[in-house]
Chain A
Amino acid sequence: MIKAILIFNNHGKPRLIRFYQYFAEDMQQQIIRETFHLVSKRDDNVCNFLEGGSLIGGSDYKLIYRHYATLYFVFCVDSSESELGILDLIQVFVETLDKCFENVCELDLIFHMDKVHYILQEVVMGGMVLETNMNEIVAQVEVQNRMEKSELCNQN
Chain B
Amino acid sequence: MECVRMIASPRYSEKRVGYLGAMMLLDEKQDASLLITNSIKNDLSNSNQYIQSLALCTLACMGSAEMCRDLAPEIDRLLRASNSYIKKKAALCAVHIVRKVHDLGELFTKAARSLLTEKNHGVVHGAVVLITELCERNSETLERFRKTVPDLVQIMKGLVISGYSPDHDVAGISDPFLQVRILRLLRILGRNNEAASDAMNDLLAQVATNTDSTKTVGNAVLYETVLTVLDIKSESGLRVLAVNILGRFLLNNDRNIRYIAMTSLQKIVGTDHNAVQRHRGTIVDCLKDQDASVKRRALELSLALVSASNIRSMMKELLSFLSSCPPELRSQTASGIFNAAERYAPSQRWHIDTILHVLTTAGGDVRDETVPNLIQLITNTSELHCYTVHKLYRALLSDISQQPLVQVACWCIGEYGDLLLTGECQETEPVQVHRDYVLDVLETVLQSHMSSPSTRGFALTATMKLSTRITENVDIVSIYGSCIDVELQQRAVEYNALFKKYDHMRAAVLERMPVIEKNSQGHTNGETIKESQTVKVKPGEPQQPANQVQGDGKNSVRVTL
Give residues in A with beta carbon < 8 Å to B. 20, 22, 43, 45-51, 82-85, 87-89, 92, 114, 117-118, 121, 125-133, 135-136, 140, 143-144, 147-148, 151-152, 155
Contact = CB atoms under 8 A, between A and B. Distances in A.
Contacts of B223: 82, 84
The 4 closest A-B pairs by CB, nearest first: A126-B60, A84-B220, A47-B255, A46-B291
Interface in B259-301: 259-260, 290-294, 296
A20 to B, nearest CB: 7
A29 to B, nearest CB: 14
Contact of A151 (B11, B28, B125, B256): B11
Interface in B147-191: 167-168, 170, 175-178, 180, 184
B12 A148 contact: yes
B170 A126 contact: no
Contact of A22 (B29, B96, B167): B29
A126 B175 contact: no
Contact of B12 (A88, A117, A147): A147
Interface stretch (B70-78, B84-92, B398-406, B511-519): B84-92
B210 interface: no
Given A84-B219, A128-B95, A118 B260 contact: no
Contacts of B96: 126-128
Interface residues of B, number: 55
Given A133-B122, A136-B122, A88 B220 contact: yes
Contacts of A43: 290-291
B491 to A, nearest CB: 39
Interface stretch (B13-21, B458-466, B538-546): B13-21
Interface string B196-237: 000000000000000000001101100110000000000000
A88 B260 contact: no
A52 B218 CA distance: 26
Contacts, number: 127
Nearest to B122: A131
Contacts of A117: 20, 24
A152 B60 CA distance: 28
Given A85-B180, A126-B61, 8 more contacts: A20-B61, A47-B293, A82-B184, A83-B260, A125-B60, A128-B60, A133-B175, A143-B50
Given A47-B255, A47-B256, A88-B177, A125 B291 contact: no
Contacts of A147: 12, 48, 50
Nearest to B14: A151
Contact of A46 (B92, B184, B290): B290
A72 B29 CA distance: 30
Nearest to A114: B20
Contact of B296 (A51, A82, A114): A51
Given A130-B122, A152-B13, A46 B20 contact: no
B8 interface: no
A127 to B, nearest CB: 8
B92 A47 contact: no
A19 to B, nearest CB: 9
